[in-house]
Amino acid sequence: MDMRQLRYFVTVVDEGQITLAAQKLNMAQPPLSQSIKKMEHEIGAKLLVRHGRKLEVTEAGEVLYSKGLQLLNTFDETLGAVRETGEGMRGTLSLGCVMTCIHQLPERVQTFHRLYPQVKLKILGGDPHQLSELVESRDIELAIVRSPLHYKNVNMIEIANDPFVFIVPKSWTDVSSLSSITMNQISEYPLIALHRVNGIGIYEIILDEFRRHGIKPKYICESPDATILLSIVKAGIGAILLPESALFNFTSKDLATIKIDDFSATTQTCVIWQKDRYISKAARKFIELFS
């Protein structure tokens, strides 16, 4: 069994069908099926069983898939390191960024492209939980996220520390002209919540502050998309609490930003990447742009 056959097997497991795997590998089905059968013969164990149109992985197949994936990652990382040494930086750098931190990217992307024009950037969006999982699965090499983080298997550098502000429609004249406000006053208004699909984040930080003050907020709407929520605020439907820098890419004459006198918590913007694993030279150079 060689690395090519191992890659074939992993692709078949990922796709669940020989047909789809063959398409992804850009090869015909018969030689792919023969390769799997040859592996089973060499190993002396059944790796896949057919159930209708889908293939299911046996216990032996699960072991091979898990260990094989590690081997392929190590093999690909080794090839990447060798190529970087011999040829310089090229290829694709995949990274992620939460929408409320997107202002951290444009200037750094511009600088990176000027310094390393042969490296293509692939940028994915998502919440911190989703992006942390993508870092862990090696689908992306690094991510720009907001705290709190609950993943131990990452390296992290903090690049910014943000206070929370109260954002209201300018049409709310009783409050939009204020320079500051208290949590007790905020609790009197209908609120919009930036709420993750999974995990703990900004929403929970805000709820903890309300609990600390012994008051209950009036939430009328929630979404994981800050742009959608700010548009709702702009329409005069409700107000929102967000980290101050979340507004850097959303300017509007219809919104007013108010300092919160008694909101003690802050949120940190961080760059994360997987701990104790090789990362490409391109990823290392991109991280350096934040130092």
What is the C-alpha separation between 254 and 237, in angstroms, rounded?
Answer: 12
Reply yes or no on whether the pLDDT at 52 is more than 90: no
b (16+ CB within 10 A) / e for 74-101: eeeeeebeeebeeeebeeebbbbbbbbb
Per-residue pLDDT at 108: 96
Residue ranges of alpha helices (H) inside the chain are 3-15, 18-25, 29-43, 59-87, 106-115, 128-136, 173-176, 183-186, 202-212, 226-234, 281-288
From CA 222, how far away is CA 194, in angstroms rounded?
6
User: Does 63 have pLDDT greater than 80?
Assistant: yes
pLDDT grade for 85, boundaries at 50, 70 and 90: low
d(CA 282, CA 87): 13
pLDDT higher than 70, residue 83: no
Lowest mean pLDDT among 48-52, 154-158, 209-213: 48-52
Q: Tell me the average pLDDT across 102-115.
A: 94
In terms of average pLDDT, the best of 29-43, 103-117, 150-164, 266-280 is 103-117
User: How much is the pTM?
Assistant: 0.70
Q: Residue 81: pLDDT band by 50, 70, 90 thresholds?
A: low
Collapsing DSSP states into helix, strand and coil, what is residue 167? strand
Round to whole Å and give the CA distance between 58 and 64: 10
Is residue 156 scored above 60 in pLDDT?
Answer: yes
> Using only C-alpha atoms, what is the Rg of the chain?
24
Tell me the average pLDDT across 202-218.
94
Average pLDDT over residues 27-52: 88
Report the helix count and the strand count for the chain, using DSSP H and E: 11, 12
- Predicted local distance difference test score (pLDDT) of residue 181: 97
> CA–CA separation, 41 vs 23, rounded Å?
24
> Residue 99: which pLDDT band, with cuts at 50, 70 and 90?
confident
Which residue matches tokens 């013969």? 41
Q: Which residue segments constitute the domains of the chain, with CATH numbers given? A: 3-86 (1.10.10.10), 89-158+269-288 (3.40.190.10), 161-265 (3.40.190.10)
Tell me what pLDDT residue 71 has. 87
> What is the distance between the alpha carbons of residues 145 and 126, in angstroms, rounded to a whole number?
9
Q: How confident is residue 136, by pLDDT bands cut at 50, 70 and 90?
A: confident
Burial class (CB in 10 A: 0-12, 13-18, 19+), 42: exposed
Q: Predicted confidence band at 238 (pLDDT cuts at 50, 70, 90)? A: very high
Cα separation, 16 vs 112, whole angstroms: 38
* Dihedral sign of CA atoms 280, 285, 286, 291 in order: positive
